[in-house]
Structure 1
Amino acid sequence: MNNFNYEKYNSDFDRMLNSDVEVTKARLEEVPQIKSIADKNKNLIGFILRGSLVESIEKENLVVLKYKKIIIGFINYHHRKDSQTTLYEICVDENNRNKGYGKILINYLLQEAKSQKKKTLLLNCPIDGIAHSFYLRCGFKIKSTRTHTKNGKKLVTWVYKLDDNNT
């Protein structure tokens, strides 16, 4: 069972969304802003090709978070055909971190995954990544660790189990 207080979080989420925050599916004309954020954070999320962003937008798998109409973060994911949603990247511009925006993006994805009847949300990140405490605060649990086959780096697989008690 995940220890995430959705009642409190959803009220915070609603309060923020009722202010100057907007979460929407990304549009093709927003690729330059998304790519700029991704490039500034490639040491954290890896290098993302412009074409990959376009493909994710076309599949409606890329969401942006805007503050006062300016894109400050994004989340890229895929709803698989089975019961899993895979989170590929989540990123909030460095100047806007630790303000709850990353949690808003995660909450959006959790709600969407549940609406798609998914049972788990899975992601991989480097074992030395700085986002571990963020994932723990969001209710993710470590599923496993492994070594990446191409570059030999250690990865952590995180899982969030969706059930009626969580969302």
Structure 2
Amino acid sequence: MAVIIKHNELEYAAKESAISEFALLTGKKQSGAEKHMKYDIRMLEAGRFSFPYHFHRNSEELFVILSGCAVLRTPTEFFEVHEGDVIFFEMGPDGAHQLYNHTAEPCRYLDLRTVSGLDVCEYPDSGKINILPEQEVYQTGDQVDYYQGEAQVRDKWPESVLEKSR
């Protein structure tokens, strides 16, 4: 079944943010039938930033600017994007991105992304990671060695099982 979203009938909802500079509005979709492709129509109001500067480890993302313009931050530069522009973000640090609406008019864009299970979103400015879709956020400074806390593995097993292997 085709899903048609009429831009002049779309209602937007604000994503809650404790920081006023992050005030992204997301259009309420008419369908929830998507399985492997996720999308949102977003509106970034004047003087606001999209999500914090980030990249995905297991998701590619594509923006299509529907109206207005904004400044795009990438790992190597800042540049204006305009209505009709299509911007692809690869997985990993080279795909890091953030938008800022430097104009007086809203910037509307389609945010299309791949979804294949869990994703890890990393925020280079704040040193955090976010496990998606669960929204579990951690500081990367808490990273530990793979074997930390595992030295007493035999203590977790019944002696009767361990004796069989001897």
TM-score (norm 2): 0.32
TM-score (norm 1): 0.32
- Larger gyration radius, structure 1 or structure 2: 2
**Relative to total residues, which structure has the larger helix share, 1 or 2?**
1
**Relative to total residues, which structure has the larger strand share, 1 or 2?**
2
